[in-house]
Amino acid sequence: MSDELRDATRVVRAGLPHATPGAPYLPGPTFAAPYHAAGDVVDSPYTYGRFHNPTWTHYERALEELEGGPTVLFPSGMAATAALLGTVLRAGQKIVMPDDCYYTTRLIATQYFATHGIEVVMAPTANDAQRALLDGAVLLWLESPTNPGLDVCDIAALSAAAHDVGALVAVDNTTATVLGQRPLALGADFAVVSDTKAMTGHADVVLGHVAAKDAMWADALRTWRTRMGSIPGPMEVWLAHRSLGTLDVRLARQCESAMQMATFLLSHAKVRGVRYPGLPNDPSHAIASKQMTRFGPVISFELDGRAEVERFFAAATLVHEATSFGGIHTSAERRARWGADAVSEGFVRLSIGLEDVRDLLNDFATALAAV
Ligand SMILES: Cc1ncc(COP(=O)(O)O)c(C=O)c1O
């Protein structure tokens, strides 16, 4: 598919097989453990369900067209993260990570990889602080914007600095998605994504992927998937591919509404600490404007404390209290309830959905009045 085509066109067409009379645009999910594979099966494209699946092939091709590099699916964002770390890192090597990235990523680094001989060093995302730790690293892990703090780092500059010391660069691009930011084009070696969030967007699928700049690494990740058995279900992958066609329209509405909501929250007397990379005065805005084409559906803000957030949720009628983001339903959570992020008791991560923003603004005005 041509790079000249615009996002809305690309997502609708991505990964669809050639038109065959009588066949659907996107073939349904293939449910198979063994495939017919008599005799010498070396040339058979599909032999066994842990090795490959035609439904994966279609969605992987779609993602490859969008990400700009061969892509490997995994059953969750964390499975994709674990596969990347497990494939690249060996005992005695060093990884540099953000100390404010998604908390389970930090947990598997410190509780699993660090206990298996990997040196894990961390610095904040803001101000590209990881740059100072790069010496001797084999992998730089970035997450931009971060979940939940929404800080950003300069992916192109940090990738160049990491390559100077011979390190590979992986970017967790879950918050932005490939339509908001293209890590491989910015110089990173890998984009790692939880498709559970905006990529699929309907709160009904858990899935992940890694896109690699170099086909050699994609092959290594595929080998990891086959050997470890870290495989996605065909139904989930088919749902993801079907949902991809609406990614552009979903994000367009979500980002426009998020901008209006962030502006509203910024001016509200009971709200402080509003973070949204699209806000002109946000600390993330300058770099986000340089490397992102859309600022995403996620906003963070603070109320005075836990009781205030609980009153907000009790009064809001259009906000699901839930721990995910990027979907069609507006949702939010008091992040301190997990005890894993360095946030205040009143810190809220909010994800704007597809509801009419006028209804959302009214609902927020009412809910904040009750705080
Ligand atoms: C930034 C980020 N990366 C990775 C993950 C893990 O994704 P999954 O829940 O699909 O395993 C999440 C999940 O919240 C996330 O927010």
Q: HSE-up of 106 (CA within 13 Å, CB side)?
A: 16
Q: How far apart are CA 339 and CA 80, in angstroms?
A: 24
**Ligand 1 centroid distance, CA of 17 (Å):** 29
pLDDT at 41: 65
In eight-state DSSP terms, residue 53 is -
In this prediction, residue 83 carries a pLDDT of 98
The two structure tokens encoding residue 107: 């947990």
The whole-number pLDDT of residue 42 equals 67
Query: In this predicted model, what pLDDT tens digit does every residue of 162-211 receive, in sequence order?
Result: 999 999 999 999 999 999 999 999 999 999 999 999 999 999 999 999 99
Ranges of the chain whose pLDDT falls below 70: 41-42
Predicted local distance difference test score (pLDDT) of residue 267: 98
DSSP string covering 81-137: HHHHHHHH--TT-EEEEETTS-HHHHHHIIIIIGGGT-EEEEE-SGGGGGGGG-TT-
Q: What domains appear along the chain, each with residue ranges and CATH number?
A: 7-244 (3.40.640.10), 247-369 (3.90.1150.10)
Query: Which atom of ligand 1 is nearest the CA belonging to 101?
Result: 1
Q: Is 284 a pocket residue for ligand 1 (Cβ < 6 Å)? A: no
> For a pocket test of ligand 1, which of 73, 74, 76, 78 has the largest count of ligand atoms closer than 8 A to its C-beta?
78
The answer, yes or no, to whether any atom of ligand 1 lies below 6 A from the CB of 146, is no
Q: What is the pLDDT of residue 363?
A: 98
Site to probe by mutation for ligand 1, drawn from 73, 102, 143 as the one with most ligand atoms within 8 Å of Cβ, is 102
β-pairing, 347-351 vs 331-334, is: antiparallel
Angle between helix axes 357-369 and 247-266 (nearest 10 degrees) is 30
Distance from the alpha carbon of residue 91 to the mean position of ligand 1, in angstroms: 25
Verify whether ligand 1 is closer than 6 Å to residue 108 (CB atom): no
Residue 76, classed as helix, strand or coil, is: coil
**N-to-C CA span, the chain:** 51
The residue whose CA has the least distance to atom 9 of ligand 1 is 77
Q: Is 206 in the pocket of ligand 1 (CB under 6 A)?
A: yes
Specify burial of residue 111 (Cβ count, 10 A radius: 0-12, 13-18, 19+): exposed
pLDDT at 208: 99
Q: Is residue 144 in contact with ligand 1, taking CB distance under 6 Å? A: no
Quote the ligand 1 centre to 217 CA distance (angstroms). Answer: 21
- Cα gap 130→167, rounded to integer Å: 13
Q: Is the peptide bond before 148 cis (omega within 30 degrees of 0)?
A: yes
- AA identity, residue 237: V
